[in-house]
A and B are shown apart, each in its own frame.
Chain A
């Protein structure tokens, strides 16, 4: 079974600084997708960034980037120039590849606090 582990229940960062959230996963598959989701307090969970396992290049979306280490099964999220609006729960998620069902597996989340 696939498992996703987020070992940091809570993290904090000073406004304008950089923070990295960790995620590891366990799989025997070679084709899969990885995601980071953001869930602000009492608000909708939204997709932050995604990575296809077959792509070696790390995904980037504005201030958000990932460090994808396929051999190590690691998928960390880096937030640069942190803003107050980045404060939220962040969930790492895994999905198996093509035509193997759509179920996502989520980690337990990391609560990010941004200090003004």
Chain B
């Protein structure tokens, strides 16, 4: 079954640690996205990719980085986690035009202590 997978689902980590949030999709979608979601707030785009070796920053400034070496894989990395990074991170993908909406992963809830 075609889908999009995020791991881990929950992560509690200490300040200063390096972390990578994984996102993989099996649909062959060229376009992938990372959103940050806080309670009561809209989703904010932090990174997107239109294909292999293509990555761009979104509207919300983020200290995270992303890579797109394979079509199906779009990991997000924080080199040094801080409490301000505590949030839910959602990965999504879409077919070429995006007219049919995103497919979302289940999210990673990150807590930095």
Q: What is the interface of chain A, defined by CB distance below 8 A to chain B? A: 4, 9, 33, 35, 37, 42-47, 50, 52, 91, 93, 95, 98, 102-109
Contacts and interface: CB of A to CB of B under 8 A. Distances in A.
B104 interface: yes
Contact of A107 (B33, B42, B94): B42
B90 interface: yes
B102 A47 contact: yes
Contacts of A35: 101
Contact of B48 (A33, A93, A102): A102
B45 A45 contact: no
B99 A33 contact: yes
A102 B101 contact: no
27 contacts: A4-B42, A9-B40, A33-B98, A33-B99, A33-B101, A42-B106, A44-B104, A44-B105, A45-B104, A45-B107, A47-B101, A47-B102, A50-B100, A95-B98, A95-B99, A98-B97, A98-B99, A102-B48, A102-B94, A103-B45, A103-B48, A103-B59, A104-B43, A106-B42, A107-B42, A108-B40, A109-B40
A105 B31 CA distance: 16
A105 B58 CA distance: 11
Nearest to B43: A106
B41 interface: yes
